[in-house]
Amino acid sequence: MCLAIPGKVVSIQGDDPLMRVGKVSFGGVIKEVSLAYVPDVEIGQYVVVHVGFALSIVDEEEAQETLSYLEQLEITV
């Protein structure tokens, strides 16, 4: 089973779209992820992350809804 988790982009490093990385907050836990698949992402936006890669940009409401479901299932991110 694969699980992608939404997180908030708090910083971005790099100019080359294929090499950009960002620090993403998952409920206060900060992880560095590749932003190669989301070249238009900006600080403050939410992304869905799977195995260290941001796969898509999601709006904050959708991200919060998903996090709420995971919390109800008692899955910590």
Residue-wise pLDDT for 36-66, tens only, equals 999 999 999 999 999 999 999 999 998 988 8
Number of separate domains in the chain? 1
Q: What are the distances in angstroms from CA 24 to CA 36, 45, 62, 73?
A: 14, 10, 16, 22
77: in domain = no
Instruction: Tell me the residue range of the domain where 38 lies.
Output: 5-72
* Residue 54 near residue 24, CB atoms below 8 Å: yes
- Burial of 10-33, coded b for 16+ CB within 10 Å and e otherwise, reads eeeeeeeeeebbbbbebeeeeeeb
CATH label of the domain that carries residue 52: 2.30.30.140
For residue 56, which of 2, 7, 1 has the smallest C-alpha distance? 7
This prediction has a pTM of 0.86
Residue-wise pLDDT for 3-38, tens only, equals 789 999 999 999 888 899 999 999 889 999 999 999
